[in-house]
Chains A and B, each alone.
Chain A
Amino acid sequence: MLRLWTLKQKPHHNLILKCLHSSSNVGASPAASTSFVSSNAPSPPTKWTPDSIRTGLIARKRGMTALWNDQGARLPVTVLQLENCQVTANIVTTRQDKSEYHAVQVAASDKPLKRTTRQMQGHFRKAKVNPKRIVKEFPITSDAHVPIGTTFSAIHFVPGQYVDVIAKSIGKGFQGGMKRWNFKGLRASHGVSVSHRSAGATGAHQDPGRIWPGKKMAARMGGQRITTQNLAVVRVDTSLNLIYLRGAVPGVDDAQVMIRDAKKLAAVGRHNQAKGLYEKVLPKGVDDLPFPAGTLEMAKTLPSIIEAPAYRVSPFVPRE
């Protein structure tokens, strides 16, 4: 049986990718080894399958608060808000080994026209959207392309599903070994002079006679791309375009974050589908996912505020 997870999804390092991004409509003649998606042609409504990978969204982290679920348990939640998140391109490229890379380019947070460069103005004009501050790409399967110009809504995520969040972590500045690498430091007393928090020795002796590359040392900490995996979607509010996630998300308030469906749990779901355990493909309580994406039009036909119940026995009921 064809094992779908061995499909050539990753490019080989020594091959050159032919990156011809096809954001334009029909009219461009197809080049030698690239194909493009006529993004604005009406396609038949597609359904989510366990082997599909949907696009993600870009949102802004607004802050954290607490919610109490139907069983009365307190959940710390992070509030993320979508700020006019739209599709600016559909990308299809063919690698030298003939495998295809599909992606959706998503942009969010409107920006004044005068502060956008000419190059980006042209790019947004082609997609017929307002100029945006952040433009990111989400790899997908070939069936999950979204028409250019589509505005996403918080309805894209279903309460009860799990997501990964990618954001730049809070910058800590130049930090020493104890904070950066959890070094133990030295004793507080008993003769230690002036080096209580220092890293101590950095190598061996004449052999090797140098410091190994990659030695953990003091340097700038934080301000890097971090992925927090498997955060549960607790509530979705389409009137304010809010997504409430259980747990913490990297970065400061009002920072841009990328949200996508949890990769590892989706892989577990694919394996369960292959094994025939159809009940365990999606998380408990989730029956389907909006496919190819949850849009503003879809949100108008669905309820505004949806919350996930606690899919477990109440912790307040005493057990024998």
Chain B
Amino acid sequence: MFNIFRWTSKSLTRTMATAAQTVSKPYPFSKTAIILPEPYVSPPLPLVQGKGLMPYLQKNLTTPEKQTMLRELFGRHSAKRIYPGSIVGVTLEHAPFAFTGVVLAIRRRGIDTSMVLRNVIQRTGVEMQLFVNSPHVKTIKVVQKPPKGRMKRAKLFYLRHSPEKMSALAGSKKGTIA
């Protein structure tokens, strides 16, 4: 298993380096199909046989930037991980271009990892479920960590019905922050 991931990081860095130099082969069956960069080396035999294929795909079907984001912010043992109850600001490529909110829930599913952010904007509660791997999510920044390091729950859906607890979490930081 360790070997597969070692191969992965090597091949990806080489792919990024050589993508500009290699000319992609023509694909006669579709003019509008997207041709992605070729892998530098042929994959190891266990992957071709299907052993460890899905964990490999979960790690590698994304760009290295997103892989870093997933590993550092959503890894279970990362030092910089996001805790439920923290206040997080994200910048997006579609409206609303920036959104800040309390993290209510983190759903860890490899590349399908998502989190739910809640905020009250102009007296209306607004929640957003953001998929970390989406190309529309540009940056994720932790604005404030939860009180006393962590909350006593993994999912904070009870905050939907208690605005006083929400404002206690927010503390001095009220309203949206760009």
Contact = CB atoms under 8 A, between A and B. Distances in A.
B24 A303 contact: yes
A301 interface: yes
Interface in B41-99: 42-43, 47-50, 53-54, 57-58, 61, 93-95
Given A68-B133, A287-B29, A287-B31, A240 B43 contact: yes
A241 interface: yes
A306 interface: yes
B122 interface: no
B25 A301 contact: yes
A286 B30 contact: yes
A65 interface: yes
A287 B42 CA distance: 29
A81 interface: yes
Interface in A251-289: 253-254, 285-289
B27 A306 contact: yes
Contacts of B33: 158-160, 285, 306-309
Given A60-B50, A72-B93, A240-B53, A65 B58 contact: yes
B38 interface: yes
Nearest to B34: A307
Interface string B10-39: 000000000000001101111111111111
Nearest to B135: A72
A49 B134 CA distance: 39
B50 A81 contact: yes
A202 interface: no
- Per DSSP, are chain B's interface residues mostly helix, strand or loop, or mixed? loop
A65 B47 contact: no
Interface string B122-166: 000000000101111000000000000000000000000000000
A290 B39 CA distance: 23
Contact of B47 (A60, A240, A303, A304): A240
6 contacts: A63-B53, A68-B135, A70-B34, A79-B54, A240-B43, A303-B36
Given A72-B135, A79-B57, A290-B29, 17 more contacts: A63-B53, A65-B110, A66-B131, A74-B134, A81-B53, A158-B33, A159-B33, A240-B43, A285-B30, A287-B30, A288-B29, A301-B25, A303-B36, A304-B36, A307-B33, A309-B33, A311-B32
Interface of B: 24-25, 27-39, 42-43, 47-50, 53-54, 57-58, 61, 93-95, 110-112, 131, 133-136
